């Protein structure tokens, strides 16, 4: 596996590969990889001639009071995992490479970023869209793969990619869960034993939503209430939001659910913030 650290080297290699007719599939990550990330890479590998994975813990998407300093890192382990899978290139720039001295350009997607995660983490999506733009311009992929767990991120990246004519196809991999249902996340490592058990309330609440919908419930407000109750029943979790939204616009469904809908939840347990989601009915264009 070729490890590239500089943007210009990545661009040169990408130009060379594209000139030779190779398609490039890209998986951006912040490292501390789990099976969920590896699923994304499997898609890139199966669909493209060359696979590129990036590892960069992006400071601009963390709020001032968030977990940038303690975000888990294990570069050697990550390298071994993706190399074993057959990844061709690891792009691993450092902070000064991605944000050179004096850097003052940001990419902002309006509207979609104001609600849900955006309401609780006001600068988060600006950091994500800025770094993903920089990564796309460095790697120049035809395909980029993201995880459904970050459903709003998927919607935002799709909109940005379309609005800025990036010419990158966005593919989305389903949420990878632990055996007991907890959605895989690098942040799960923060959870103590009791917290880990209590965090399952998120998955239970989503299962409950699906069951209600399967049984014919179509009131978004009712489903939302049941989901919130299930999470709060744990007694130890603080709910940031539980909402039934349209999967592409992330706008809350106010009345009856017709067609594709997504239940999204975010909650805090101790100092850890977890998110999860599930589709109701047909999966719409975000599956």
Binding site for ligand PAF (CB under 6 A): 28-30, 58, 61, 128, 131-132, 150, 153
Please identify, using beta-carbon distances, which residue of 151 and 253 lies nearer to ligand PAF.
Answer: 151
Closest CA to 119 of 258, 266, 220: 266
Query: In the bound complex, what is the minimum distance in angstroms from residue 20's beta carbon to ligand PAF?
Result: 27
Give me the catalytic one of 34, 37, 108, 165. Answer: 37
Query: In the bound complex, what is the minimum distance in angstroms from residue 56's beta carbon to ligand PAF?
Result: 6
Find residue 172's DSSP bridge partners. 146
Please identify, using beta-carbon distances, which residue of 153 and 224 lies nearer to ligand PAF.
Answer: 153
Query: In the bound complex, what is the minimum distance in angstroms from residue 25's beta carbon to ligand PAF?
Result: 15
Please identify, using beta-carbon distances, which residue of 44 and 201 lies nearer to ligand PAF.
Answer: 44
Query: In the bound complex, what is the minimum distance in angstroms from residue 16's beta carbon to ligand PAF?
Result: 24
Contact 14, 140 (CB under 8 A): yes
CA 10 vs. chain centroid, Å, equals 23
Alpha helices, DSSP H, located in 86-123:
95-98, 117-120
Query: In the bound complex, what is the minimum distance in angstroms from residue 234's beta carbon to ligand PAF?
Result: 26
Please identify, using beta-carbon distances, which residue of 185 and 224 lies nearer to ligand PAF.
Answer: 185
Contact 227, 208 (CB under 8 A): yes
Please identify, using beta-carbon distances, which residue of 139 and 257 lies nearer to ligand PAF.
Answer: 139
Quote the CA–CA distance of 12 and 6 in Å, as a whole number: 10
Alpha helices, DSSP H, located in the chain:
7-19, 35-47, 75-85, 95-98, 117-120, 124-139, 151-163, 193-198, 200-214, 220-233
Closest CA to 34 of 200, 198, 178: 178
Q: Give burial (CB, 10 Å; 0-12/13-18/19+) of 197.
A: middle
Please confirm, yes or no, whether 213 is among the known catalytic residues.
no
Please identify, using beta-carbon distances, which residue of 26 and 279 lies nearer to ligand PAF.
Answer: 26
Closest CA to 201 of 123, 253, 274, 114: 274
The neighbour count for residue 36, using CB atoms within 10 Å, is 20
Query: In the bound complex, what is the minimum distance in angstroms from residue 28's beta carbon to ligand PAF?
Result: 4
Quote the CA–CA distance of 109 and 253 in Å, as a whole number: 21
Residues annotated as part of the active site: 37
């Amino acid at each position: 596996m070729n490890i590239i650290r500089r943007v210009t080297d990545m661009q040169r290699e990408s130009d060379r590969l594209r000139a030779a007719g190779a398609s490039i599939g890209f998986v951006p990550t912040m490292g501390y990889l789990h099976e969920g990330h590896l699923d994304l890479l499997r898609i890139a590998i199966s669909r493209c001639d060359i696979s590129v994975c990036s590892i960069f813990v992006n400071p601009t998407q963390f709020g001032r009071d968030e977990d940038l300093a303690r975000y888990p890192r294990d570069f050697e382990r990550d390298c071994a995992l993706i190399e074993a899978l057959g990844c061709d290139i690891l792009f691993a720039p450092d902070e000064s490479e991605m944000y050179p001295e004096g850097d003052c350009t940001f990419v902002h997607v309006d509207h979609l970023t104001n609600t849900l995660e955006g309401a609780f983490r006001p600068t988060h999506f600006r950091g994500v869209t800025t770094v993903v733009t920089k990564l796309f311009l460095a790697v120049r992929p035809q395909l980029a793969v993201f995880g459904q767990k970050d459903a709003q991120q998927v919607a935002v990246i799709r909109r940005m990619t379309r609005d800025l004519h990036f010419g990158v196809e966005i593919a989305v991999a389903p949420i990878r869960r632990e055996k007991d249902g907890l959605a895989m996340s690098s942040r799960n490592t923060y959870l103590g034993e009791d917290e880990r058990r209590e965090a399952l309330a998120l998955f239970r609440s989503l299962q409950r939503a699906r069951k209600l919908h399967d049984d014919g419930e179509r009131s978004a407000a009712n489903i939302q209430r049941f989901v919130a109750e299930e999470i709060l029943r744990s007694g130890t979790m603080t709910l940031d939001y539980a909402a039934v939204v349209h999967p592409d616009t992330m706008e809350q469904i106010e009345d009856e659910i017709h067609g594709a809908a997504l239940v999204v939840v975010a909650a805090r347990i101790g100092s850890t913030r977890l998110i999860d989601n599930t589709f109701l009915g047909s999966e719409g264009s975000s599956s």
